[in-house]
Structure 1
């Protein structure tokens, strides 16, 4: 349904994605890792493109961040 964030497992190969995500950070400083994460977030947000879905994702991520 458009405008609704899919929070159900949806990755065909989640372990492979996780490995690639970790590899992306190899040999990075903390600052470089943060910049890479920000770039990835912006690329994926652009790909999604739906403001409602992005708002929902931001709200969920903020709530999860408060639990940490």
Structure 2
């Protein structure tokens, strides 16, 4: 199992954050929530490690 990375690990993180925010421009709350859900499921599938995803959920809830 891969260990969850909790230190900065994304080059140009501010640009990626801006891209995520831009994707939500003009969306209603429900549409924005649906976009977030789809993105989470796509990235979870890409990660492909249920234990790692559970660790991330624990960190996000803390």
TM-score (norm 1): 0.85
Could you list the runs of 5+ residues in structure 1 that have no partner in the other structure?
Answer: 64-68
Q: Relative contact order: is structure 1 or structure 2 higher (C-alpha 8 Å, sep ≥ 6)?
A: 2
Q: What does residue 38 of structure 1 align with?
A: 37
Could you list the runs of 5+ residues in structure 2 that have no partner in the other structure?
Answer: none
Alignment partners' CA distance in 2, 1:17 and 1:51? 24
User: Which 4+ runs in 1 deviate beyond 3 A?
Assistant: none
Matched-pair contact (CA < 8 Å) for 1:5–1:53? yes
User: Cα RMSD between the aligned structures?
Assistant: 0.9
TM-score (norm 2): 0.93
